[in-house]
Amino acid sequence: MSGPSEAQREAPQRIAALMRNATRASVAVSGVMVATTFIAWIASGSISLLSSLIDSLVDGAAALVNLWAVRQALVPADREHRFGHGKAEPLASLGQSAFIAGSAVLLLFEALQRLLNPVPIRNTGFGIAVMAIAIALALALYLYERRVVRRTGSLVVSADALHYRTHLFVNASVIVSLLLTTELGWIAVDPLFGGAIAAWIIHGAWQIARHSVTQLMDRELPDLQRARIRDIALSAPEVRAVHDLRTRAAGPDAFIQIHLEMDGGLTLTEAHRISDGVEAKIRAAFPHAEVLIHQDPEGVEEPRALFGSDA
């Protein structure tokens, strides 16, 4: 049986700090990439470098959106938002995916135009050097963000890490394109690589959108985590059975609801004490979760909602 993940064991305050630091690092790196890639594109006129520049601009815009989303998602619950502000994360990620896909479509049109009307590439050596720097920055940020995702489970940071992983392939392909154009004179390679990069960017946007919609539609937590919750509840000797387990995630937060079946002869005080013990154990395994427990007397029929195979 799967135990709590690294993200589920992390203290909420530490999770908040890690998410803020990751988004700030992303803003800084994307700013450097935009400036250097813009200079390289102006100097060379390469459509591949233009694709990298567009990707970097998307990175910068997404990083700023993510910075806002993380800040908003970490705002505590208030009178108007009783369940917190965690869905700011998937909302921002969904908008990010749309922005990414739109920029990639524009890049496809530009690549097609350049393919029909080839233009010689200039200063390829400078462009290659800039791409090498961009690869080093993207790799460092990607490794850092993956570490943050393991410790926080943040959807926004995960989407950003996915985008920077894409950026690694984008910049590597730009270097290959510039080398083929310079060494072999294959001018058509540049727009072809630019179009392929655009298709790859669209694929990444689809992945981000799919994960975002999963949270916005209140999909259940993974089966292993749900089984872990059941095992924790049933570990209390007084709990005879459980039912109506419902879970969902909203950004860094999770929400868990479960019914406990116990001896009908227990007093309300005893049932409350047992439930508090189960809640404490679930919170220990899932410190980012809000837990709601309902007590039922064993053997008493009650209306129940059916959720597929989960009765």
CATH of the domain at 159: 1.20.1510.10
Question: Do residues 200 and 166 make contact, with C-beta atoms less than 8 angstroms apart?
Answer: yes
The average pLDDT across 11-40 equals 82
Question: Do residues 256 and 242 make contact, with C-beta atoms less than 8 angstroms apart?
Answer: no
Domain that holds residue 203: 6-216
Among residues 180, 198, 216, the one where a domain terminates is: 216
> Do 252 and 144 belong to one domain?
no
pLDDT tens-digit series, residues 198-248: 787 787 778 778 877 877 777 788 889 999 999 999 999 999 999 999 998
Distance CA 239, CA 190 (A): 66
pLDDT tens-digit series, residues 229-241: 999 999 999 999 9
> Do 178 and 230 belong to one domain?
no
Position 10 scores a pLDDT of 53
Position 282 scores a pLDDT of 94
Among residues 185, 216, 247, the one where a domain terminates is: 216
Pair of tokens at residue 301? 């029929």
138: closest CA among 168, 117, 111?
Answer: 168
> Do 203 and 69 belong to one domain?
yes
pTM above 0.75, yes or no: no
Q: What is the mean pLDDT of the chain?
A: 78
